[in-house]
């Protein structure tokens, strides 16, 4: 996709314009699509909330979709407890630059979720009022 603008607000592991190579896609053959809620709560003004989830073996995260009710948005951090690494730290804005059902936020590479640990999500409300925040992962599983 030559000539498309660089999306500087997106982290190094995710991009709306970057598609995985065929070798990465081959790992996903035979898996079923599924969606799972990473975070769904009302967060107080300029407060931080956390959630965590675990999943069965051989689940892959392909895209993220988010929505917020306040224009200031929020910051999202996704942490893999098994690999002890942060998957993404991303801004979520009211104008859906993070990802929407129409334009999901596709990861540059499919991310295999840990089967024996948890994925933790931390959300920081940037608004001066309560903010309804939802974050959904789209992926594949056996």
Q: What confidence score (pLDDT) does residue 2 get?
A: 40
Most confidently modeled range among 6-15, 27-36, 77-86 = 77-86
Instruction: Sketch out the chain's domains with CATH numbers.
Output: 34-141 (2.60.120.380)
Cα–Cα nearest to 63, from 95, 18, 22:
18
Strand arrangement of the beta sheet that strand 105-112 belongs to: 32-43, 131-141, 60-68, 105-112
pLDDT of residue 98: 62
- 60-77 tens-digit pLDDT: 888 888 888 898 888 888
Measure the CA–CA gap between 100 and 142, rounded to whole angstroms.
25
Q: Which residue, chain included where needed, has tokens 């409300």?
A: 125
**Residue 19 — pLDDT band, cuts 50, 70, 90?**
low
């Amino acid at each position: 996709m030559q000539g498309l603008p660089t999306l500087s607000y997106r982290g190094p592991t995710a991009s709306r314009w970057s598609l995985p190579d065929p070798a990465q896609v081959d790992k996903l053959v035979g898996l079923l699509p599924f969606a799972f809620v990473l975070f769904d709560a009302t967060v107080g003004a300029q407060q931080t909330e956390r959630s965590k989830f675990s999943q069965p073996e051989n689940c892959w995260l392909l895209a993220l979709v988010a929505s917020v009710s306040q224009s200031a948005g929020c910051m999202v951090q996704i942490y893999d407890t098994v690999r002890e690494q942060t998957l993404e730290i991303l801004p979520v804005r009211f104008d859906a630059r993070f990802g929407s059902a129409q334009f999901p936020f596709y990861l540059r590479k499919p991310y295999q979720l840990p089967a024996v640990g948890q994925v933790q999500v931390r959300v920081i409300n940037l608004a001066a009022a309560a903010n309804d925040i939802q974050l959904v992962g789209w992926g594949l599983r056996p």
